[in-house]
Amino acid sequence: MRTRARESVLYFLLTLCVALAVAVGMHVFVYPNDFAPSGVDGLATMLQKLTGINAGLFTLAINLPLLIAAWFVLKRRYVIYTVFYTVVLSLFLFVLGRVDFYRYVATGDLILPAVFGGVAQGLTGIMLRMGSSSGGVDIMGSMIQKKVPHRNVESIISTISVCIVIISFFVYRNLQSVLLSVVEIFVCERITAGILKQSRNAVKFEVVTQSLSDIKEDILHRVRHGATVIEGKGLYTEQGKSVIFCVVNYRQIPAFLKVVSKYPDTFVYYSDVMGVRGNFDRTDARKETEKGGDR
């Protein structure tokens, strides 16, 4: 119970920090340089441009109906953190506007505000890691995907974001603002993807071989790594083969490839792994083989 309470406190503090970072990024880099970011923040930015009313009020006004609808469709935990983020973000935007906080007005290279605005907004990836979101199009995408399960939620969100960028052309009346929006969205997505990607990057090897006993010894003792083995057979020859699955870190790739190259009857392919979770300690070769695990 205490662990759950500590986790909730930590998540609320992280949400507070993310909201502050996004608010500062919007106020300092986006608003004074006349372009719209992605999502509901983009709609609020354009409405602020047209009316002169603080974007924080529009952010709250647009998100609250979506959050009320989401309460009946999506997970309650998801909605609670998203409501907190939305309210705090709107408050920070309102305060920054009232105190006339510093704004960066680009006089030369306008790409810098788009880049740093995208970095700030990309920090909302932390919200996704926590199982919530920054509201707006994330909620729209999740709710639409609930009704249309065969549609990918990322494609739904991308479609909505593209529509917002197109609308921004008619607000700012120049192509430069649209291009800055595209740059901001690209940077935002890269930062978000980096946050979502697991820190333990690795490579997955899949080895098809008829020399299991020999290659097994090399993997265990030369590469000093575990693996998982399943038995199969060739589709054409119907000869028995072993398929070895092994996840290694990048530094172990050369050693693994060197081992595999020793066996002419062996086929291997490997690919990047988005993340690795869990750990299997290697104590001795026999125990590792019996366990059939991998780090």
Task: Please say if the pLDDT value at position 26 is more than 90.
Answer: yes
- Residue-wise DSSP of 27-79: IIIIGGGT---SHHHHHHHHHHHHH---HHHHHHHHHHHHHHHHHTTS-HHHH
Reduced 3-state DSSP string for 149-214: CCCCHHHHHHHHHHHHHHHHHHHHCCHHHHHHHHHHHHHHHHHHHHHHCCCCCEEEEEEEECCHHH
Residues 6+ apart with CB under 8 A from 26: 37, 41, 45, 55, 93, 117, 120, 121
- Residue-wise DSSP of 72-95: TTS-HHHHHHHHHHHHHHHHHHHH
Give, in order, the Cα–Cα distances in Å from 168 to each of 176, 181, 266: 11, 9, 56
How high is the pLDDT of residue 181?
92
DSSP letter (8 states) at residue 223: S
DSSP letter (8 states) at residue 26: I
Q: What is the mean pLDDT of residues 51-68?
A: 90
Percentage of the chain exceeding pLDDT 70: 89
Percentage of the chain exceeding pLDDT 90: 32
How high is the pLDDT of residue 158?
78
Task: Please say if the pLDDT value at position 171 is more than 60.
Answer: yes
More confident residue, 222 or 29: 29
How high is the pLDDT of residue 286?
46
How high is the pLDDT of residue 53?
94
Convert the pLDDT of each residue in 108-144 to its tens digit.
778 999 999 999 999 988 888 887 887 778 787 777 7
**Domain 202-291 annotated CATH 3.40.50.1860:** no
Give, in order, the Cα–Cα distances in Å from 113 to each of 65, 124, 180: 30, 18, 8
Cα–Cα distance for residue pair 9/7, rounded to 1 Å = 5
Task: Please say if the pLDDT value at position 213 is more than 60.
Answer: yes
Task: Please say if the pLDDT value at position 68 is more than 90.
Answer: no
How high is the pLDDT of residue 27?
95
> Model-level pTM?
0.72
Convert the pLDDT of each residue in 177-202 to its tens digit.
999 999 999 998 889 888 877 556 68
* In the chain, where the domains are located: 2-196, 202-291
